[in-house]
Amino acid sequence: MQRNSRSRIRSLQVFDTELNADTVEWCPVSPHHSILACGTYQLQTQKEEEDVPPRRTGRLYLFKYQAEALRSPLTEIQRIDTPAILDMKWCHVPASGKVVLGLATSTGELQLHTLSDSQEGSSSLQKLSSMEVGADRLLLSLDWSTGRMDSSDVQAVCSDSAGSVSVLSWDEGALKTSSQWKAHDFEAWISAFSYWDTHMLYSGGDDCKLKGWDLRMGPSSPTFISKRHSMGVCSIHSNPHRQHILATGSYDEKVLLWDERNMRHPLSETSLGGGVWRLKWHPTQQHLLLAACMHNHFRILDCQHSTEASGGSCAVVASYILHNSLAYGADWSRLTSSPAPTQAKESLTEVGGHLKIQYESPTASVDTCLEDDSGQYIPEDITASSTAGDAVHPDHDVTSFLVATCSFYDHVLHLWRWDWTPPDASS
């Protein structure tokens, strides 16, 4: 479903992570919104004669965003060698006064790092603690339960390759296991808390099941089991702005929106043409949903009609297609971003245009151009009259968003800006 909105994407920078990149996270804790973390996963091949398990290594990158650096706004400020990182999340609120980043690793370890600032104004991560959640398993996902960023009762949930879900409680700089149970028959790809009810959490697995759990009732039986997804469930995100709204994604290439009060039938179903590995609701815009679609790039969905009218698929309002490998990691920045004065006057084109990469450097920015469906170049200063109504008038309210995405086998991190005129503003 397409709605009458206008969209323009500008790629700002590409960074070569050297190892396969699979997760990116902007820091949600003020005043550190300019800090971006990127995690990598590399399977080290063994010689045929070596009878040892494959070794998985990783690296954690820390970046600082500086808007005034127009060509390369992201600056690497730290790198840390780690076990392979499969997921990571910043705790949404300070824990014991500390800004904490958690890493779900291939060794079954949950690592905690704290962010600190030096007197010179630079930031860095220091390892706080680590704990083995389970032996001989990979931790596949991590989420924090801090309510809507207003809870002091910090908990974490992680899922693993043995099909288990573990809930951990914060205890003075460390996490301790509160409960662990077998939740799925195969890999438990994803686990996530409800941001409105911190007793509720959800899990999805390679057994094609989506399950709900109430921690007050214990893990003996789920509150519901849904088999609406036809393949493995690998992404779940609770909407932090609208109570009861839940988004799930699957290898079946579909995003389902749910009302948590009725998990028998989803509110809407949207096919995206690629396995939906990660979903992220925007931190301030309640209807915008970012999806990492594995073999089919990154998509931004406008879910307003689907959630308010209870039906129909979500509108795909933007697509970022410059990655050349599996679309895995994606996150919205909380920084406010606005086009430069000259760019603000540019017209925005309908989603029907296609971005084509012209040049890519692993350590600098990229140049892109916009093509129409026949492959013809669309100039950036295109006028409204030349697009038969598909352009946005310069006076319309343009909102700009900053996004970071990463892809796997080509091991790159992309920073890009999305300029959008919402439907009401473009009508």
Residue 290 forms part of a structural domain = yes
Give the chain's end-to-end CA distance (angstroms, integer): 17
CA distance 167 to 159: 9
Centre a 10 Å sphere on the Cβ of residue 171 and count the other Cβ atoms it contains: 12
Taking all residues of the chain, what is their mean pLDDT, rounded to a whole number? 85
Residue 268 forms part of a structural domain = yes
Report the pLDDT value the prediction gives residue 308, as an integer from 0 to 100. 82
Report the pLDDT value the prediction gives residue 358, as an integer from 0 to 100. 39
- CATH of residue 380's domain is 2.130.10.10
**Each residue's pLDDT tens digit, 30-58:** 999 999 999 999 998 766 656 677 789 99
**Each residue's pLDDT tens digit, 290-340:** 999 999 999 999 999 888 866 789 999 999 999 999 999 999 999 975 554
CB-count exposure of residue 265 (10 Å: 0-12, 13-18, 19+)? exposed
Residue 157: which domain range? 6-426
Residue 301 forms part of a structural domain = yes
Residue 352 forms part of a structural domain = yes
Our measurement of the distance from residue 118's CA atom to the centroid of its chain's CA atoms, rounded to an integer in Å, reads 29
Residue 34 forms part of a structural domain = yes
Report the pLDDT value the prediction gives residue 425, as an integer from 0 to 100. 56
Report the pLDDT value the prediction gives residue 56, as an integer from 0 to 100. 93
**Side-chain-facing half-sphere of 189: CA atoms under 13 Å:** 21
Report the pLDDT value the prediction gives residue 31, as an integer from 0 to 100. 94
**Each residue's pLDDT tens digit, 245-288:** 999 999 999 999 999 999 999 999 999 999 999 999 999 999 99
Residue 1 forms part of a structural domain = no
**Each residue's pLDDT tens digit, 192-245:** 999 999 899 999 999 999 999 999 998 889 999 999 999 999 999 999 999 999
Our measurement of the distance from residue 146's CA atom to the centroid of its chain's CA atoms, rounded to an integer in Å, reads 18
Residue 191 forms part of a structural domain = yes
Report the pLDDT value the prediction gives residue 179, as an integer from 0 to 100. 95
User: Parallel, antiparallel, or unpaired: how do β-strands 85-90 and 99-105 relate?
Assistant: antiparallel
| Model pTM score | 0.86
Q: How many domains does the chain have?
A: 1
* Phi–psi pair at 6, nearest 5 degrees: -125, 150
Band of pLDDT at residue 397, cut at 50, 70 and 90: confident
The least confident of 133-147, 148-162, 332-346 is: 332-346
Grouping H, G, I as helix, E, B as strand and the rest as coil, residue 320 is strand
Residue 395 forms part of a structural domain = yes
